[in-house]
Structure 1
Amino acid sequence: MRGSHWLVNPAGGINERAKVSASLAKNSRIPAPASIVRRPYLFIDAQHGLGNRMRALASAACIADATERQLVVIWRRDHHCQADMVDVFDYAGPVVADDSDDVMRDSAAKVYNYMEIEPGAQFQEPVLPDSQRFASQHIYIRSAYTLNSPYYSWEHEDRFLHGLRPSQPVLDLLNQVPFPSDVSAHIRMATGDGFDHLSWEAPENWPAIRHEELKLWRAQSHVSAFITRLDALVAEGACDSLFVACDLPETYVTLQERYGDRLRNLPRDLYDRSCAQAQYALADMMLLARSKRFLASSGSSFSDVARRLAPRGCQFEQSGVDF
């Protein structure tokens, strides 16, 4: 069962089993079990920012459940996300937060790597296409993306995402903003010229063609496009309250000047990838999902996950597609 407090006894040699079990016990804050559940592991090495990590994690959880593997989350701080998983989620399952991932990778019968800029990576390689191959063996996946697998299930991923519990600091932020709102908007603009100096926005994070796609999507998500749509909703009487989450401080200023008391947001002076900002980000994501209508940014994993957290009945519109 996902979130179990039992550690799995890995297949393989005695020394290898000892290394993996010792590393998991050290990292996961999980007491030694009275008995051992013999299931193989599925290691998910979640990459990039919060939305990307959540998307990859949900996908891996789906595959782990379908193939009767114990999900082990490898969540390490880096320049994309400087928060540990415990900083943003109250998560009960095994989590590895240090550099012992090599032990997990070496124990795996099959390694999948979706990170295109890395040597040997194969983006969108099918995960476990043959149900018999690698049965009862460990699998290691490194990804910032939804996984391609015959075990993929949108509904199962949604259940996992909805089951993630925010940490107490995130809950405290949620309580600062009234909800639901008539409309919510995620405005993601900060990629491309003027932002390449930021390590998490640098072109080196993606193949050139992927970076060009991101720049196109960000252009389609310019605040001016959102304002045109929001003005129409205000004129229709469909936007008496508006929650916004933006990646630039000047965007908040523009919207505040235009919409005044209608506007809701979580005030901050952080626009980085720090631990505190990650907590704001998850709170933003959850508040975006708590509206009657959600205006999303094209090509944003953050918008994608926020949409999936929304209840049924929430109207969804996407920049560059619907407005």
Structure 2
Amino acid sequence: MGRPALSISKMKAAYYPDVGLEQMVPDQMWIEEECKYDVAAMYGISHWWFQRQRFYIDRHTSEGDRRAVRTHMRILSVVRIEVFPMYGYNYMKKIVLRRADLKEYVIAERDFKYLYPSDFEDLYLLNLQGHLNHLSPEDKKILTTAVNLWTRNLVIRQRVEDFQLGIESYQTQLNLTKPRWDAKGFEYKHDFTVIDSPRAVTFRDKYGVQMIMRFNEIHKFSDGTLHQIDEALDYRVKEFRVNRRNPGLDTRFWTKKDVDRSKEFMFAIQKRLKTRRIFRNLESFVGGRIREGDYRLLKRTE
């Protein structure tokens, strides 16, 4: 009987609600280019011997059918799995899932890279709720191991790409690329005005300094800043009258174009916040330690 390929360590899930966190990062910590990955650390297999590392990484970097497995439909159950032994360990060959349309889908572990984070959340919830007990103990252990490894992979990637989730030592270089403030004349715009070129929104940090947030740099801002901007835009969309004078707009009218641009920003911000919520859940699933305030936040969002 082979051993399951398990490699999970404690991880800390962090939540940063501070408004203006981006302005508090010291200048010497910012870099010009994004970081590089330590591939073995990213998969959580740094302590494996080389041949086994190479075998595992090669299997998962091989091509799969993205269109066949990438869907937002919820995973309802796991029908069965197939495994194979190699180097004294058991690896998952394929898994048969039943999604919300009640159809069965067959995926290999190499297809995990095409799944959404919510799919891994579904698999973890099935395990926690006892819906995998129809599998043999060995198959259940192998499936849990595979999901743990790929959840660790997802979490580390997200940490590297989004420093607000907490910096750990899994990467060779910190990904603190500084937000850019290059919209011409933005300091003369009203607060929370959406600029067309480049796509950005103006706001004031906690020190009262007017800043901008570019549309393609939303991921560089803390949850507190995103909540502040989202709430302000939501108020303007719901309360401001189109083609009329409104409080806070002394020199121009609120237009339908302003409404549409604000809704686009709100959608992008809410999507980013939802993604962070899912990743905080995933970190807690694989043994991460979360603070008490974060736990109350997770319970409210679930």
Report the TM range for the smaller structure's normalisation: under 0.3
Q: Which one has the largest radius of gyration?
A: 2
Structure with more contact order per residue of length (Cα contacts < 8 Å, sep ≥ 6): 2
TM-score in terms of structure 2 length: 0.24
Structure 1 or 2: more helix by fraction: 2
TM-score in terms of structure 1 length: 0.23
